[in-house]
Amino acid sequence: MENKENINKYGEINLVHRMTVIKRIIHWTFFLAIINNIITGFYIAYPFLFFGKTPTQSDSLSTGIVNSGETNQAFIMTWMRDFHFIGAVLIDVIFIVWLYLAFFSWKEPLYKSFLPFGDKLEEAWKMIKHYFTLKDKPKTGRYQDPLNAFVFTIFHLLILLQMLTGFQMYVASFTGTSAVGAWWPWLMHFSTDWTLFIFGGLTGVTIAHLFIMWLIIIFIAYHIYIEVWRSVMWKEGDILIPFGGYKYIRNKSETQ
């Protein structure tokens, strides 16, 4: 009886698979690596704390220099850079896996939900209208909606640009060859030297890297907000997708 009432109110409820295990691993690796790189990146850009004793440092809180602590803590910048690079390696690897799956995944290639023309654009526009008016909820199904797919594509392009500007700053500090051979700096120069031209030198590349970080922070704020919003407004458990891989669909809601 109670079940029948719910069906009348919410429509028929079905469970639908939305995210494969590999995509979920990619999702949470992105999450951890990006949070790590935002924190360590901030430190590298604005080194607000120094620990440990060096002969030239005086004990002054106003300069952020504290003369207590272990000698190894004097290397805090080295640790921050180390963790930043580990995060970057993770991001590079999962980006390449994501790119491969976007085209060759059997289960959910990106083009199933996103092609930037035709009815996909119209569907994305319908979703924007729904967000602002709360009316005419577009149907949800097996694949991401075109608006989300579009936003995720922009996100991955930002990540790509962040990788390339990061590699340019990294290779700039190389002198001569590298421990693994000359091919490595050559590859980085070959793939990223154009950023020097586009952003007007190494300072410009550094500023671009910082600016893209802010765009990624805006994406994260929007993304978490909208996924919580969808879960609350649609009552289809959208927030569960990156955890269990499933969500509910009923394609009939209180607002319809």
Smaller CB separation from ligand HEM, 140 or 168: 140
C-beta separation of 165 from 209 below 8 A: yes
Q: Which residues in 19-48 contact ligand HEM (CB under 6 A)?
A: 23, 27, 30-31, 34-35
Q: How deeply is 235 buried, as exposed, middle or buried, from its count of CB atoms within 10 A (0-12, 13-18, 19+)?
A: middle
Residue 192 CB, nearest approach to ligand HEM (Å): 22
Report the Cα–Cα distance between both ends of the chain, in Å, rounded: 23
| Residue 239 is a binding residue for ligand HEM (CB under 6 A) | yes
Considering only 41, 87, 166, 242, the residue that binds ligand HEM (CB under 6 A) is 242
| Residue 241 is a binding residue for ligand HEM (CB under 6 A) | yes
Considering only 224, 225, 246, 255, the residue that binds ligand HEM (CB under 6 A) is 224
| Residue 148 is a binding residue for ligand HEM (CB under 6 A) | yes
Residues making contact with ligand HEM (CB under 6 A)? 18, 23, 27, 30-31, 34-35, 144, 148, 152, 155, 220, 223-224, 227, 238-239, 241-242
